A and B are shown apart, each in its own frame.
Chain A
Amino acid sequence: MNDNAKTSGSGASGSGGARTKGDVLLEIRGLKIEGESDEVWRPIVKGVDLSLKRGEVLGLIGESGAGKSTIGLAAMGYARAGCRISAGGITFDGIDLLAADEEMRRKLRGSRIAYVAQSAAASFNPSHQLMTQTIETGLREGIRGKAEAEKDAIELYRRLRLPNPEEIGFRYPHQVSGGQLQRAMTAMAMTCRPDLIIFDEPTTALDVTTQVEVLAAIRDIVEQFHTAAIYITHDLAVVAQMADRIMVLRYGNTVEEAPTREMLSNPKQDYTKSLWSVRKLGKQEQAGGDPILEVKNVTAAYGNAVRVLNDVSVTVPRGRTVAVVGESGSGKSTLARVIRGLLPPIAGEILFNGKALPRALKDRNADTLRRIQMIYQMPDTALNPRQTVYEVIGRPLEFYLGLSGAKKEARITELMKLIEMDDSYVDRFPGELSGGQKQRICIARALAANPELIICDEVTSALDQIVQEEILKLLLRLQRELNVSYLFITHDIATVRAISDEIVVMFQGRVVQQGPKTEVLSPPHPPYTELLLSSVPDMDPDWLNKLLDRRKVQPTAMSAGDR
């Protein structure tokens, strides 16, 4: 299969010339990039050197704001609106990208350098078929005719293991799943057989089970065509599977650069070590006490037609954390909506503190609402951009507890201390806070109501790993101090390990397994739990290979994960 791929690859590229592994393809020297805000140009990237050989995969990692994506785009000679490349040189295959005119760079982009964005859903045009968009660049550059290009695209779809490769190209973006779309975007990037592909967090928005598929597909295709790649991510375990070399960035500077294995086994800088240690957070499991929330045999549906929850029962013990895990579409977010009264169930009941909870939101009184609070996935949309921190935290105090004046002040100061933020932040608007700070404010807003149960909907998935760890630690400490219970919805198993006492595994609207953490996480597992757990990347660079070898034996589990 591999040999076959090579011949068709070099045959199709034609003009690409000899693709020998090992020549230097991309050379970036002393790159400085500045961004404009409030009339001032501030440095984003402060002098980064980078060189990439043909067929090599370089992983760029770092927290958000480290300049990863900016460097990725600069490798195409591109700077986002409001940014400019102020110094340095970028040489791609002997062409000085900064000296070349825009027309020249346009010709390179798409045909010789391609880009795969984080959110394929936002990057595809919703009103064109996938096929049209996949072959667009190739047709524009006149590399191939339409019929030939379509045939080639189908071949790429097949290699990326998309279901129904013959037909999927004639669907529209909303008709395929997120993972499939991400693979279609990789096919689009590959269609001109570029020399270099920049992957900007291509799997961050995907479920673990889908992530494995996409990772395997990307790695195969990069190997088959000797394509060089820059792989940008904040997930260390992912980069360990993909990259030959890893470069750690922080505040626009290179912290450390080394071959993957060396970097993983022996990181030199303190910052790199701190990145490595993040995944070690763990909570001692505690047995449950009296139940605070009992969901009993709940069935729910949207518009009486699509059943999203089927006979679901979940119990949350007081002062404990129950993690609900499952991929997107498993019904875990719907369960949260049902508990909050936004979607009244068709059957079953919900007990809160032993008493039946009214089904619909409008029938619940303020005191019941106060006891159940919510923290959302995206702090950006969970906070009103036009309200200051003071208003955000102050409102529940006023509304539920009737506090005002000095008492309210004192409580706000106390809450700010509780979430480990200085109270000088109370005058700020959400736009003036970082992602982690915004999430802290959301936590403070929930705590302001003195709740007994907090529903956390993927609260860490929009944050990078160091911040994730801080937030999880904060939540754990708050639980110890305030004895609140958490219903923790997530698809990230590492988070589950870190925070939960009990685990509920959901799949297609049903509870597959539930029990204490140690019991669920230790074998033997039901097939779906097995698939979910084995899909979580390890820091071991051989993890993906081993996993794929093992899975070849059981192809059924593989296809189940694709839905």
Chain B
Amino acid sequence: MTATHEATPAAAGAGKAMPSISARRRRSMVGNAWRGFLKAPFSAKFGMVVIAVYVFAAIFAPWIAPYGEAEVIGAGYQPWSFQFLMGTDQLGRDLFSRLIFGARNTVGVAFLTTLLSFALGGCLGLIAAIAKGWTDQILSRAVDALMAIPVLIFALLLLSIFGTSVINMVLVLAVLDSTRVFRLSRAVAQNVVVMDYVEFARLRGERLPWIMRREILPNIMAPMVAEFGLRFCFVFLTISALSFLGLGLQPPTADWGSMVYENKMLITVGRLTPLLPAGAIALLTVGVNFVVDWFLHKTSGLRE
């Protein structure tokens, strides 16, 4: 797209016609996106709204939340009231506020981890697909070895070796999760690598990064974006699970996983409070899945 912007002023002969073409194009892209949204099935719209609400809450948490993240504002285990919308937790912190801050912490960390795992796994997958031969063998077998061990157990092991900190958790989960990304990106890139235009780029003498970024990546974006949504859900659930087990985000940081853990005894007296953070986790997962489903269906080109 940047190329077309440069093109506009310089093309002397068609100087008048060109801007209108690129402008029309840009407008129709926005229009297409909006029409695409309107045409989306109810489930996808629902998912998009849910994601938008979460992102909004995560970004504006300090302004929305009535109280501070770790602020003790009353007695423990207060029932729901107008002052404390969802009651207070075991230390007397406002649960509603913590739920909002939790969006920022849990979702933010999960997003960062997924991004990292895609950067790592995606790059290695593309390299394996392009280089073939020994490079591919070594990378693939290493990934196979890592994938042989269940993620949660492996993560627990590594975290107890390296110590529990947010950075360690992000790194460990990103590396473990990148194995799955590697498998996918390698598989889809292999279909693109055999195309004549990739051969042509190699014949032109292009270097590996250019071929990866310009020839292959744009053609595998659709499955990668869909996978990003799914992997995000898994990472998010794993983080919540680790936090529940006490190895994830550390107190007093508000986190949905540990919030379930901290308030779990309220279940025994018939209160629904511990289910709220669990529900928040479930809702986001369902929302993301709806959107990914729709996106995959749309890009696969299938007709009803």
Q: Which residues of A contact B (CB under 8 A)?
A: 81-82, 340-342, 361, 364-366, 369, 374, 376, 378, 381-388, 390-391, 394-396, 399-400, 405-406, 409-410, 412-413, 423-424, 426-427, 445, 449
Stretch at the interface among B10-18, B92-100, B234-242: B10-18
Task: Determine the chain A residues whose CB is within 8 A of the CB of B25 once the complex forms.
Answer: 427
Q: Is the CB of B14 within 8 A of A424?
A: yes
Query: What interface size band does chain B fall in?
Result: 20 to 34
Q: Is the CB of A369 within 8 A of B3?
A: no
Q: How far is the CA of A390 from the CA of B218 in the complex (A)?
A: 16
Q: How far is the CA of A413 from the CA of B18 in the complex (A)?
A: 12
Partner of A424, one of B18, B202, B214: B18
- Give B249 Cβ to nearest chain A Cβ, in Å: 39
Task: Determine the chain A residues whose CB is within 8 A of the CB of B214 once the complex forms.
Answer: 384, 387
Partner of B203, one of A361, A391, A427: A361
In the complex, residue of chain B having the shortest beta-carbon distance to the beta carbon of A400 = B204
- On whether A426 and B7 interact (CB within 8 A), knowing A366-B205, A374-B200, A376-B200, the answer reads yes
Q: Is the CB of B7 within 8 A of A409?
A: yes
Q: Say what secondary structure dominates the interface of chain B.
A: helix
Q: Is the CB of B4 within 8 A of A409?
A: no
Q: Which residues of B contact A (CB under 8 A)?
A: 3-4, 6-7, 10-14, 17-18, 21-22, 25, 195-197, 199-200, 202-206, 214-215, 218-219, 303
- Give B134 Cβ to nearest chain A Cβ, in Å: 16
Task: Determine the chain A residues whose CB is within 8 A of the CB of B200 once the complex forms.
Answer: 374, 376, 382, 445
Partner of B196, one of A82, A378, A399, A424: A378
Q: How far is the CA of A525 from the CA of B196 in the complex (A)?
A: 36
Q: Is the CB of B303 within 8 A of A410?
A: no
Could you give 21 example pairs across A and B, Cβ below 8 Å?
A340-B203, A342-B199, A361-B202, A361-B203, A365-B205, A366-B205, A382-B197, A386-B218, A399-B205, A406-B10, A409-B10, A409-B11, A410-B10, A413-B12, A413-B13, A413-B14, A423-B11, A424-B14, A424-B18, A426-B7, A427-B22
- Give B189 Cβ to nearest chain A Cβ, in Å: 14
Q: Is the CB of A390 within 8 A of B7?
A: yes
Q: Say what secondary structure dominates the interface of chain A.
A: helix
- On whether A388 and B3 interact (CB within 8 A), knowing A381-B196, A424-B18, the answer reads yes
- On whether A384 and B219 interact (CB within 8 A), knowing A81-B303, A378-B196, the answer reads yes
Task: Determine the chain A residues whose CB is within 8 A of the CB of B7 once the complex forms.
Answer: 390, 409, 426-427
Q: How far is the CA of A449 from the CA of B303 in the complex (A)?
A: 42
- Give B254 Cβ to nearest chain A Cβ, in Å: 42
Q: How far is the CA of A384 from the CA of B213 in the complex (A)?
A: 12
Task: Determine the chain A residues whose CB is within 8 A of the CB of B3 once the complex forms.
Answer: 388, 390-391, 394
Task: Determine the chain B residues whose CB is within 8 A of the CB of A385 once the complex forms.
Answer: 219
Q: Is the CB of A381 within 8 A of B203?
A: no
- On whether A369 and B17 interact (CB within 8 A), knowing A383-B197, A386-B218, the answer reads no
Q: Is the CB of B11 within 8 A of A369?
A: no
Task: Determine the chain A residues whose CB is within 8 A of the CB of B195 once the complex forms.
Answer: 381, 384
Q: Is the CB of B205 within 8 A of A405?
A: no
Task: Determine the chain A residues whose CB is within 8 A of the CB of B215 once the complex forms.
Answer: 384
Q: Is the CB of B10 within 8 A of A405?
A: yes
- On whether A410 and B196 interact (CB within 8 A), knowing A366-B205, A386-B218, A427-B22, the answer reads no
Q: How far is the CA of A450 from the CA of B217 in the complex (A)?
A: 28
Q: How far is the CA of A426 from the CA of B22 in the complex (A)?
A: 10
In the complex, residue of chain A having the shortest beta-carbon distance to the beta carbon of B215 = A384
Task: Determine the chain B residues whose CB is within 8 A of the CB of A406 once the complex forms.
Answer: 10
Q: Is the CB of B206 within 8 A of A399?
A: yes
Beyond A384-B195, A449-B204: 10 further Cβ-contacts under 8 Å? A369-B204, A369-B205, A384-B219, A390-B4, A394-B3, A396-B204, A409-B11, A410-B12, A426-B4, A427-B4
Q: Is the CB of B204 within 8 A of A427?
A: no
- Give B205 Cβ to nearest chain A Cβ, in Å: 5
Partner of A382, one of B11, B13, B22, B196: B196
